[in-house]
Amino acid sequence: MKPVNQLPAAQVTTVFTDIDDTLTTEGKLGAQAYAALQALQDAGLRVIPVTGRPAGWCDHIARMWPVDGIIGENGALYMWHDHASGKLRTRHLLDAPERAGNAARLAQVREQVLREVPGCAVASDQFCRQYDLAIDFCEDVPALERDDVDRIVRIMEQAGMTAKISSIHVNGWFGDYDKLSMARLMMRERYGIDLGDEEQRARCVFAGDSPNDAPMFAYFPLSVGVANVLAFSDRLPHPPHYITHDACGAGFAELAQHLLSDHGHAS
């Protein structure tokens, strides 16, 4: 991984970013990271969080943060605020009957995980999820051992689910979508941009920190890990190409400062 100050930033037009432990620090969105989002958007860059967090959070973020839209639940949907109409718009991957049908299957897996992995818990944000099951292994519970986290993944996969580890949760869902597949769909539908084109892909930066970011790390040549990504170095089949000196929100601010300096907006 190269230092982030070696990233060629002048051609960048879109910034994708994870949220937990990429924008946030110890569970909080600090002023430094939020100001970085605002500065990037003010400079004319497209800013799109890509997160495992639920639809309910995405509603708030799309409305109130300085972003152009948000991809949620690890690629199950995207939202944006339509300023012309004053309305929030949502693009779902599955229709309502399909989501309802998956809910009962998710409930069965949830009960098995809670029974077989002592110490874990259903994530506190589960009530506003529409697609996936989020199991907390260190956000509101004492941190589990890695073997326990892996056991959660195995239970989900044995049930036919896709399972991904973030910095705080194991997220599981029925379907083969991920952060990358929805990023490609959103860019095509909303902006007419084909990320299959190498030149267009080279105009995008992605910042992340954990294993569920691996598809984005692999796909984008300008992928960046904030420094705490090193904690998952043995679990990343595709590490980022660049890395920040600082961790979490300070690392994202470091990336933003570098991007802004090449766009003539550095403070």
The per-residue pLDDT for 52 is 93
Host H or E run for residue 183: helix 179-191
The structure tokens listed for 24 are 């946030």
Q: Give the separation between CA 189 and CA 183, rounded to whole angstroms.
A: 10
Q: Which two tokens stand for residue 76?
A: 């199950």
Judge: domain 96-173, CATH 3.40.1440: no
Q: What is the pLDDT of residue 262?
A: 75
**What pLDDT is recorded for position 265?**
57
Query: Within 13 A of 105's CA, how many CA atoms are on the CB side?
Result: 19
- Dist. CA 104–CA 122, nearest whole Å: 15
Contacts of 249 (CB under 8 A, 6+ apart): 22, 23, 24, 25, 29, 30, 32, 33
Residue whose entry in the numeric block shows the structure tokens 């910034």: 15
Choose among 191, 188, 151: nearest CA to 172: 151
Q: Which pLDDT does position 267 carry in this prediction?
A: 46
Residue 116, CB half-sphere, CA atoms under 13 Å: how many? 16
The strand order across the sheet containing 162-165 reads: 121-122, 133-136, 169-173, 162-165
- Segments of the chain with pLDDT less than 70: 264-267
Inter-residue contact 243 to 2 (CB < 8 Å)? yes
pTM beyond 0.85: yes
CA distance 72 to 18: 10
| Cα–Cα distance for residue pair 37/20, rounded to 1 Å | 14
The CATH-assigned architecture of domain 2-93+177-262 is 3-Layer(aba) Sandwich (3.40)
Answer yes or no: are the C-beta atoms of 197 and 204 closer than 8 Å.
Answer: no
- Structural domain boundaries of the chain? 2-93+177-262, 96-173
